[in-house]
Amino acid sequence: MFLTRLHPINAVMKNYLIGLIALVYAIVFAGCNDGIDKVLSGTWNVTKVQGIFKNGGTALPPIVDENPTGTITFRSNGTGEQNYSYTLAGTDYPQTGSFSWSATNDLIIIERVNDPDLEWTRITDQDNKQIASYNFLINANQSWDYTLTLEK
């Protein structure tokens, strides 16, 4: 019977070793949420939208809305919500709905259920300001290049 009992010092060392292993696992796997950008997480005000219309390779001058309204929210679980509107050349463009997202240092990938996915190229990546551009294809000859400015 006395052979199966651990010496009190060995029991403490065993508990210490188990705790140390658990701590190492927690540290290693805490940063394994691939594609989730901690800076991007949160609610952002859409503060500027610029659009450049391209027709057959010819780009028209940029059209800018300096006063769009609404927000985009990037949740830390990889989901998000957009609820903003902008006006270009007298036409209102409301943007609403849910999406999934992931990000790298250079890209923000927006995955939408009923619309084509978007790949935003980051121009500015700061804690309180994000500027990203993306292309929206209308047809084989026409597209829009958009640049969004987001601020906290």
Report yes or no: 99 and 112 within 8 Å, Cβ to Cβ.
yes
pLDDT of residue 116: 83
> Would the pLDDT of 16 be above 80?
no
The whole-angstrom distance between residue 117's C-alpha and the CA centroid of its chain comes to 13
pLDDT in tens, 120-148: 999 998 989 999 999 999 999 999 999 99
CA angle 96, 98, 104 (to 5 degrees): 110
Residue predicted with more confidence, 4 or 40: 40
> Does residue 60 come out as left (phi exceeding 0), alpha (psi in the -120 to 50 range) or beta?
beta
pLDDT of residue 20: 41
Sign of CA dihedral 26, 27, 30, 34: negative
User: Mean pLDDT over all residues of the chain?
Assistant: 83
Report phi then psi at 22, rounded to 5: -60, -40
Least confident of 12-16, 42-46, 65-69, 114-118: 12-16
E-state strands within 2-152:
42-55, 58-59, 63-65, 69-74, 79-88, 91-103, 107-111, 118-125, 129-137, 142-151
pLDDT in tens, 36-64: 577 899 999 999 999 999 999 899 999 99
